[in-house]
Structures are given as C-alpha cells and as structure tokens.
Amino acid sequence: MEYGIPLIGESFPELKVHTTKGPMTLPEAFKGKWFILFSHPADFTPVCTTEFYAFQKRYGQFKELNTELIGLSVDQVFSHIKWEEWIEENLGAKIEFPIIADTGEVAERLGLIQGNSTNTVRAVFIVDPKGTIRAILYYPAELGRNMDEIVRMVKGLQVSDEYGVALPANWPENELFGSDVIVPPAADIETAMERKGKEGCLDWWLCHKKI
C-alpha cells in the first residue's frame, strides 16, 4: 500500500518502532502530550552530535511544555546506545529521550529520505496531544537546527490553541507589537467597522492585544 508524505493538519501515522527505550507505538505512546519527532542523518557525526546535546539541554523546557522528544535515524539500536554513551562521557549530557532505530521503513513512511541521499534529512515533526501534525521543518545535512526556534514554535502553537490567536513574526519579540498576539481578522462588516480606530488596531484587519 502506498502512502503520501504526512502533511500539516493530518493525523500522525500509526507506527510501531523500536527505540533505545524499547518498542513503542506512535502516536499512542505520547497520547495526551505534545511530541517532537526529529530525524538526523547518522550517529557519530559532528553536526548531529551538537544537535543531540542541544536538544538534551532543553529537554526540561520541553517537558514544562508537556512535550516529549523522540529522535530517529537509519542506524541500529546498538549504534544509538554507544553514541549516547560517548555524548555522556565526553560532553557530560545524558540523553534521556528515546531514539528510533530504523531500517529505513519509518524514514520512507515519513518522507525523510530526500534527493540522492540514503540518509535521513534533518526533519522535525511537531505533533499535538490529539496526534495531529502541527508543523514540519526540513533542514539540509550541512545545517544544524535552531533548538530555541523549535521551543518557540511549541510555545506559540500552545498559545494559539489556548487563546484562538495568531503570532506575529519573531514572537514574543516582534518588532512592531512586542509580545502581543494577533487578533483573528473580522468575520463580518459590523465587526470590521467596530475595529476602526480601536486601540490595538492599525486597521480593521490588523489588530493586536496582550494575553
């Protein structure tokens, strides 16, 4: 059976995976939580090592956001374990989140092998507690990810869900509105007219507020 690459707004596909923490079924294993599945090209590679260190350093921040992490590459589980040991012994960071040991099947299902490479791209799937894919990021092998941006995205999505708002560029440090959020556009003429000249509205279609 052929599957398309999962898209934003779709349900994360059910996957049975083997990890450094044992077998898991996704997204069921993280039911009721947000989770981030991120792939890396290979164990024991320089950029990937810096990324895993950075993810682990922010693991507490993710957990405060009710968010779990799970890594993936087309490597065997013993490779993941030895790499984890190397990171702890040499960099002082114990990797606490699971890493999927993939034969290539999971990577193919999620569209993580692209171009002429046989390795996975640096992908990020942000999935909400209902198992819906909320964001997808792809990075080339030569560019490491910005972990603070991924933390920001989770925070922003959670704020959007809670308050029914949108977030401006570089939120919460937007050049125009600071940490304010964007009010949804008016859905009718009456609301649009009410917003003209209202505090926090540059126009009827562009309003911001504090939360």
Q: Considering only 9-13, 113-117, 174-178, which range has the smallest mean pLDDT? A: 113-117
Looking at residue 3, what is its pLDDT? Answer: 65
For the annotated catalytic residues, the residue numbers are: 48
Examine residue 44 and state whether it is found in any structural domain, yes or no. Answer: yes
Looking at residue 111, what is its pLDDT? Answer: 87
User: Which of 115, 145, 175 finishes a domain?
Assistant: 145
Q: Is the dihedral of CA 181, 131, 30, 101 positive or negative?
A: negative
What is the extent of the structural domain holding 169? 164-211
Looking at residue 2, what is its pLDDT? Answer: 55
84-129 pLDDT, tens digit per residue, is: 999 999 999 999 999 999 988 998 899 888 777 767 889 999 999 9
Q: What is the CATH number of the domain that holds 205?
A: 3.30.1020.10
pTM equals: 0.94
Examine residue 111 and state whether it is found in any structural domain, yes or no. Answer: yes
Residue 1: is its pLDDT beyond 70? Answer: no
Cis peptide, bond prior to residue 184, ω within 30 of zero:
no
> With 0-12 CB in 10 A as exposed, 13-18 as middle and 19+ as buried, what is 29?
middle
Examine residue 127 and state whether it is found in any structural domain, yes or no. Answer: yes
Regarding whether 185 and 121 lie in a shared domain, the answer is no
Regarding whether 33 and 61 lie in a shared domain, the answer is yes
Tokens of 103: 């034969």
Total number of domains constituting the chain:
2
Regarding whether 169 and 100 lie in a shared domain, the answer is no
Q: Considering only 10-14, 113-117, 140-144, which range has the smallest mean pLDDT? A: 113-117
Mean pLDDT, residues 127-142 taken together: 95
CB-CB neighbours of 127 under 10 Å = 25
> Looking at beta carbons, which pairs linking 27-30 to residues 24 or more positions away fall under 8 Å?
27/127, 27/131, 30/68, 30/70, 30/127, 30/129
Regarding whether 210 and 137 lie in a shared domain, the answer is no
Examine residue 5 and state whether it is found in any structural domain, yes or no. Answer: no
Cα–Cα distance, 158 to 166 (Å, whole number): 11
Regarding whether 120 and 200 lie in a shared domain, the answer is no
